[in-house]
Amino acid sequence: MSKKTITFLIFLTFLIIYYAGSFSKISFGDCIGFVLDIEKREFLTDFMPLTHFLYINTAVFFSKFLGMDSVFVMRLMSVVPAAITVSLVFVLIKEFVEENWIAIMSTFVFGFSFTFWRSAETVEVYTFNALWIILFLVYSVKSLKIDSRNYIIPVGIILGLSLWVHIQNIMLIPAYLILLYLLKSDRKKALISLISFFLIFSLMFFVNHLQDIEMKFVFVSKKGPWVNDTFTQGFSDLIKDVVKAAAFLIYNFNVFILFSVAGVIYLCKNFKTESLFLLTASLFTLGFATFYAVSDNYVFFIPFYIVFTLLIALGIKKLSVKYALRKLRFAPLFIPLFYICSLYIVSLTPQGQKFHKEKLYKDGLTYYMLPWLHNNIGCIEFTLRDGQTEDHIIVLKESSRKFIELRKKYQSMEEISKL
């Protein structure tokens, strides 16, 4: 079976899986805020960390000019980029691994990783952002091949546009600069790539300047103290951050983590040029995600998880020479059982039962430990029945009420309550 056929089949498989498990009702968190922005059908005109300029304006375009429902658009904005990203993870792995069974197996490990799977099932920017990340990585790796230097220019354009999606991607700039250094023999294309990136990046500051927005607000949010909190953490806080990052890694990749060490060794030994670029890209994003002081920092690990999946694939390749690992090629299909068993075990503990009761308003442990959101509790119904919780949900309720007012113009309350 050809590489293109497998890539398409992987895309189709995960499109079906993600769409089937997608939210039945608009979930909690930032979801209602994003949907509200699309329901207004107004394009954003500023670049700030929480606006996600390209993500929101792409969705507004579909809603405003194609007449698509805002909720449906935002579902597609998570599901479709997620499925494409998974298929491109396969493409990335195939740049290093010839064996299809290893590439497919590892790709399914990533596709079923909790954080990415959950991001595909809700309304969030992270799968759309992951699409730009994987494009950046694939084109960069291809450009490092002697016969593929035409990929250098698109790399700069892709990285620049990715900053219009999420400012976190500035963590990829060190890897990009290393890439340009490694490709210095082709100075003309490397220079065009750098200029393209610089112009696209600079445009963010220019647009904000036209609206009298300070330069720093491209990087810093007006609504949150997260950057300051990050730099004021004590030593004990940093240790907790590392422990949390390790816990997230285990829950996302479980036993497959064991292959990563062999993968690092294999990458550095056999792909010295690519390893410098990839490890730089992954370590900077890993550091940012680990120490960034926000409650939902687990989503910022996704760019690192893409490279980590490649390490798993390379580890399997290295160890399969000594061990019959091909027999485990269907093992990723049992990953959903891992989440179900984990939920069952935690629900038996006193701490788990307490947490479940505290978060019951959004389905308790099920919401936090299972990646799919089909038949979930929605924030609209929670707002309509004036649900109460000790969590800070004032903004969520305000956004829900604004959304309800807009939808009342063409939908009944009964229909709205089902969204």
- Please determine, for residue 224, whether its predicted confidence score (pLDDT) is greater than 70: no
- What percent of the chain stands above pLDDT 90? 66
Amino acid 229: pLDDT: 64
Is residue 230 situated within a structural domain? yes
> What is the spatial distance between Cα 361 and Cα 367, in angstroms, rounded to a whole number?
10
**pTM reported for the whole predicted model:** 0.95
Residue 273 corresponds to which amino acid? T
CA distance 275 to 264: 8
User: What digits encode the pLDDT tens for the residues 342-385?
Assistant: 999 999 999 999 999 989 989 999 999 999 999 999 898 988 88
Confidence of residue 191 (pLDDT cuts 50, 70, 90): very high
Q: How many domains does the chain have?
A: 1
Question: What is the per-residue pLDDT for 397?
Answer: 87
Q: Which of 314, 330, 197 has its CA nearest to residue 263?
A: 314
Among 270, 265, 275, residue whose Cα is nearest residue 141: 275
Q: What is the pLDDT of residues 267-320, one digit of tens each?
A: 999 999 999 999 999 999 998 888 876 777 889 999 999 999 999 999 999 999
More confident of the two residues 294 and 104: 104
The residue segments making up the domain with residue 228 are: 3-342
Please spell the DSSP secondary structure of 291-360, one letter per residue. Answer: H---TTGGGGGHHHHHHHHHHHHHHHHHHTTTS-GGGGTTGGGGHHHHHHHHHHHHHTSHHHHHHHHHTG
pLDDT tens digit sequence for 310-331: 999 999 999 999 988 899 999 9
For residue 224, how far is the Cα from the chain centroid? 21
Whether residue 163 lies inside any domain: the answer is yes
Q: Residue 18 falls within a domain, yes or no?
A: yes
142-155 mean pLDDT: 84
189 touches 154 (CB < 8 A): no
pLDDT tens, residue by residue, 34-45: 999 999 999 988
Residue 145 domain-assigned?
yes
**Confidence band of 63 (pLDDT split at 50, 70, 90):** very high
Radius of gyration for the alpha carbons in the chain, expressed in angstroms and rounded: 22
273 within some domain: yes
Least confident among 12-26, 356-370, 405-419:
405-419
Mean pLDDT across 194-202:
95
Answer whether residue 225 shows pLDDT above 80: no
The overall average pLDDT reported for the chain is: 91
Least confident of 97-101, 146-150, 315-319, 332-336: 146-150
65: amino acid identity, one letter: F
pLDDT bin (cut points 50, 70, 90) of residue 216 is confident
On the question of pLDDT at 173 being above 70, the answer is: yes
Within a domain: residue 179?
yes
Q: If we measure between CA atoms, which residue out of 87, 94, 74, 102 comes closest to residue 16?
A: 87
Reading the block at residue 119, the tokens are 């991001």
Residue 83 token pair = 């499925």
